[in-house]
Amino acid sequence: MEAIQDEIVKWHKETFPRATIQAILDKLDEELHEALDEIKGGDLKKLFEELADVVIVTCALAGALGINFEDVIIWKLEVNKNRTWVKELPNGDRVRER
């Protein structure tokens, strides 16, 4: 993941040299909404494209903040593994942290 983040950050800086943190956050919000729209639309190829955009923009944001995204994901996954999760809906379709 570190190699792809480095490639994304390099491309992002070359392509959008004046992008601010707020601009990147706004783009991330846009991409998340597009992914949600594709979930409702049912086109898996378009959904995967939008999810890839979410990851790309998130990597660009992490890079702009000087964060190694891979390290953060590994750390956060361990946090989540050590949490207690409970059913939020009776059928278990959604869970939340206790």
- Cβ(1)–Cβ(69) below 8 Å: yes
CATH of the domain at 71: 1.10.287.1080
pLDDT of residue 56: 97
pLDDT lower than 50: segments of the chain: none
Return the SS3 of 86: strand
pLDDT of residue 92: 65
Question: What does pTM read for this prediction?
Answer: 0.83
- Owning domain of residue 26: 2-97
Give the separation between CA 57 and CA 36, rounded to whole angstroms. 16
Provide the number of structural domains found in the chain. 1
Locate 57 and state its tokens: 């923009």
Return the SS3 of 83: coil
Tell me how far the alpha carbon of residue 28 is from its chain's centroid.
8
